[in-house]
Amino acid sequence: MSVLLVGTLDTKGTEFAYVRDRLLAAGVTVLVADTGVLGPPAFAPDIARDAVFSAAGANHEQVRAAGDRGKAVELAAAGIAKLAAELHKQGKLSGVLSLGGSAGTTIGTAAMRARPVGVPKLMVSTLASGQVQHYVGTRDVMMMYSVVDIAGLNRISRVVLDNAAGAMIGMFSVGCEPEASVSDKPVIAATMFGVTTPCVEAARKILEAAGYEVLVFHATGTGGRTMEGLIRDGLVAGVLDITTTELADELAGGILSAGPDRLTAAAIAGVPQVVSLGALDMVNFGPRDTVPDGYKHRLFYQHNPTVTLMRTTPEELDRLGKGVAEKTSAASGPTCVMVPLKGVSAIDAEGKPFWWPDADAALFQSLRNWIAPYVELVELDRHINDPAFAEACAHKLLGMMAHPVHKGGVR
């Protein structure tokens, strides 16, 4: 098993050699992959750039001659991601480490995102103190800020690179596999927000007592995408999608959207799912002055100085109800939508800031209008955080997983 060291050896060969030597001195096996495209590499790599570009279906010499740096980075990223996946499948890769600026970070993290959760991934980047969602994606990629540019060895860069090598050495030496690989408990994925925590926590305890391992995802956009990805990877046996709030952000332009494919993976995979309407009463924005001008007249709740919540309207909830109905109706596996008629979040209750019965009624009626007859729709005269609602959701999912009925009958 080796650490894959990914980098442009034509422009940052000295720095990569420094990190490689630190790893080797600690007894770590290293595979160096050259993703450069300009000049010759500073030292001979274990994986030449020709192999990297070939894996992306390109010819290195032709890419270099074209002089299109953006295209070269795109191809290098695609090639190294494919090679990293192959090395891991062959049992030859136990970690990925890279250094770089914008191009190097794009390439290095592509290799990291191609590896499962649990495989050590460390990116030393000049961009790590800024917005890194694009680079991290839904994997456990660690970003380390380089402080100075990766351009030569100096009193700062040596310390940073020493720490990076030390971190990888530590992760490599521990040699832990993801917990899922050593547990025989089937996995249930659940979604939670602060305003639905009581519901999900109560349901989680019931599911865990029944012998399941529950992975709870914070419905912040990335959380929803991560859950959908694990479902697509075949790692999830059941879904307790209590908190579908990311759909509201996708509809109204909030900052926590999980994209248009949210609430589709379980439907496609045929995984049993219990879906509810948690926090569909709100759209998330940053500080109050970041709210788009077109929304200034709306009802808001300041969750904290950096999070502003906007109440969804009856018109928006009508559209959200139809969206939930359509996505759950497309499911090939057992699906139930649980409706809490007394409110969908902690602040959507009588006497609370977002209590708006007419708006919620539009959501509930839209569901009734559009949901397919073979999708179970359960309406409870309870608030979403009522213990009885949580218990009903948990037991509904347990029953579906024990006796899954698909569109075509019993599995």
Task: Note whether 176 and 168 are within 8 A (CB).
Answer: no
* pLDDT tops 50 at residue 410: no
C-alpha 227: how far from chain center? 6
Task: Note whether 13 and 105 are within 8 A (CB).
Answer: no
Average pLDDT, the chain: 92
d(CA 172, CA 300): 48
**Mean pLDDT to the nearest integer, 285-309:** 93
**Mean pLDDT to the nearest integer, 364-391:** 97
d(CA 394, CA 123): 39
Please give the CATH number for the structural domain made up of 2-174: 3.40.50.12020
**Mean pLDDT to the nearest integer, 87-110:** 92
d(CA 41, CA 13): 7
Task: Note whether 168 and 95 are within 8 A (CB).
Answer: yes
Task: Note whether 276 and 363 are within 8 A (CB).
Answer: no
Q: What ranges do the domains of the chain cover?
A: 2-174, 183-410
What pLDDT score does 67 carry? 82
**Which of 104-113, 273-282, 377-386 has the least mean pLDDT?**
104-113
Burial string for 225-259 (b: 16+ CB within 10 Å, else e) reads bbbbbbbbeebbbbbbbbbbbbbbbbbbebebbbe
Structural tokens at position 116:
């499962």
Taking alpha carbons only, the member of 179, 177, 150 closest to residue 164 is: 150
- What's this model's pTM, rounded to 2 decimal places? 0.76
When pLDDT is cut at 50, 70 and 90, the band that residue 407 belongs to is low
Q: Which residues lie across from 301 on neighbouring strands?
A: 309
d(CA 19, CA 4): 12
Task: Note whether 225 and 138 are within 8 A (CB).
Answer: yes
Residue 155 CB partners (closer than 8 Å, separation 6+) = none
* pLDDT tops 60 at residue 408: no
Quick: pLDDT tens for 336-363.
999 999 999 999 999 999 999 999 999 9
Please give the CATH number for the structural domain made up of 183-410: 3.40.50.12030
What pLDDT score does 134 carry? 85
Please report, in angstroms and rounded to a whole number, the separation of the first and last CA atoms in the chain.
Answer: 40
Taking alpha carbons only, the member of 63, 38, 47 closest to residue 3 is: 47
Quick: pLDDT tens for 140-192.
999 999 998 888 888 899 999 999 999 999 987 775 444 444 568 999 999 99
d(CA 36, CA 64): 10
